[in-house]
Structure 1
């Protein structure tokens, strides 16, 4: 069991003094609950010793799936410990580890809906919605990877300006106005502008630009009036 814990710790990316303390498996629902905490280096007889710590608080995060098994991490965090650089840990107010949020954020950038993300990653809709709400209200940054994935591209003869065109940023920041005749776009633009005011993270702002661009690409025929104005600005 000790060797199995060491292998699992390696797969999770744990570094000393962090180690797997125990694993609870539920084959019926295909879920493993992994208990992580601080351990001291091994003693004379090769046995890991529990580090003498003071107060610990248990943090609970959903992690990246292993095959078709769900992985839940329960981390005993000593007072004053810094977990900010670990992919197997998450933010206090969010239900996912950073490794899992990177997966979810990448799917958002590709335009995958909340419902499909939940099906792909076997996640509860309420928890994915919590993460999305944190992004939209500026409470959570992006994936932390720095580079964005390739944006949705329009056809070569499309009237939609490319996603890197400054007109999209101008629309979202309210520096540029257009006459909008399509109610759905009017609602989307109003909501996105309100969110954009709260968002400071560059990756999340790029996500909002991409979503607006993607809407125009998917509804190009219905947005001829609005696109004519964008072409004049370009």
Structure 2
């Protein structure tokens, strides 16, 4: 059986997609699959260079990368697990694996180690989850409190989180755990040089709000008031 056919079966490709060629780097433990929509010309490799590259879930012990060009009329929000969105570095399949690990109770660093993905890629997936930008199949824990709480708690990209962590905004905190977490994050925040690192701290605080939402009515109401005040100040 040809290597392209083996790869097609491993990736569980759906028509009209097929594997045009495969590149395996044994030393780096990387598998690169080049996909085309339709059969290659007389069995020869296509001369068209794929426009997108996504990190996929590992195939065996090999880090897997998918190279493909999406048709112009393709619906980007939905798609087979072996493809991704144009503006993302990960496939739907990898995002789903991350969600499954989170459902099992793993933390993001544990997910990175298990799936062999770097922190930056994990942050992309984490950010997409927090913003509700993934498809319904990729969203985590429909029966988990996080699913409904994110509708009230501001998303990761909301400036209110930066305002909360960059200054000593006075909000009355009843829950000791949140008080300690905010004190630590506020101490670390000014020393963080990259925006990605700051977003990671924001996510830490936001996930605490989500996890303990039922105990944080008092604090959440103040957070939302802080958000409204910020919006009013920006508009005036």
Q: TM-score, normalised by structure 1?
A: 0.59
Specify the alignment match of 2:3 in structure 1: 4
Q: Does 1:65 align with 2:58?
A: yes
Q: Does 1:77 align with 2:76?
A: no
State the SS of the aligned residue for 1:78. coil
Gaps of 5+ in 2: 155-171, 186-201, 219-236
Alignment partners' CA distance in 2, 1:78 and 1:173: 36
Alignment partners' CA distance in 1, 2:115 and 2:71: 30
Count the aligned residue pairs.
Answer: 179
Report the more deviating stretch, 82-91 or 127-136: 82-91
Once the 2 structures are TM-superposed, how far is the Cα of residue 106 of structure 1 from its aligned partner? 1.8
Once the 2 structures are TM-superposed, how far is the Cα of residue 134 of structure 1 from its aligned partner? 2.1
The structure where strand makes up a greater share of residues is 1
Question: CA 1:128–1:143 in structure 2 vs 1: closer, same or farther (change >3 Å)?
Answer: farther
Once the 2 structures are TM-superposed, how far is the Cα of residue 179 of structure 1 from its aligned partner? 3.1
Alignment partners' CA distance in 2, 1:72 and 1:57: 12
Q: TM-score, normalised by structure 2?
A: 0.58
Question: CA 1:95–1:41 in structure 2 vs 1: closer, same or farther (change >3 Å)?
Answer: closer
Q: Which has the higher contact order (CA 8 A, sep 6+)?
A: 1
Asked if the contact 1:89/1:97 (under 8 Å) is kept, the reply is yes
Alignment partners' CA distance in 1, 2:23 and 2:45: 19
Q: Does 1:140 align with 2:134?
A: yes
Question: CA 1:9–1:23 in structure 2 vs 1: closer, same or farther (change >3 Å)?
Answer: same
1:161-184 deviations in whole A, cap 9, x for unaligned? xx69xxx959x659xx98334414
Asked if the contact 1:37/1:76 (under 8 Å) is kept, the reply is yes
Alignment partners' CA distance in 2, 1:50 and 1:82: 27
Asked if the contact 1:39/1:50 (under 8 Å) is kept, the reply is no
Structure label with greater radius of gyration = 1
State the SS of the aligned residue for 2:174. coil
Specify the alignment match of 1:212 in structure 2: 212
Alignment of 1:134-173 (within 5 A): 134-141=128-135, 143-144=137-138, 148=142, 169=149
State the SS of the aligned residue for 2:19. strand
Specify the alignment match of 1:25 in structure 2: 24
Alignment partners' CA distance in 1, 2:174 and 2:5: 61
Specify the alignment match of 2:189 in structure 1: none
Asked if the contact 1:118/1:124 (under 8 Å) is kept, the reply is yes
Gaps of 5+ in 1: 152-162, 197-206, 217-225, 230-234
Asked if the contact 2:99/2:138 (under 8 Å) is kept, the reply is no
Specify the alignment match of 2:15 in structure 1: 16
Alignment partners' CA distance in 2, 1:141 and 1:71: 22
State the SS of the aligned residue for 1:106. helix
Question: CA 1:34–1:56 in structure 2 vs 1: closer, same or farther (change >3 Å)?
Answer: closer
Calculate the aligned-residue CA RMSD, in Å.
4.2
1:171-207 deviations in whole A, cap 9, x for unaligned? x659xx983344146689xx68x969xxxxxxxxxx9
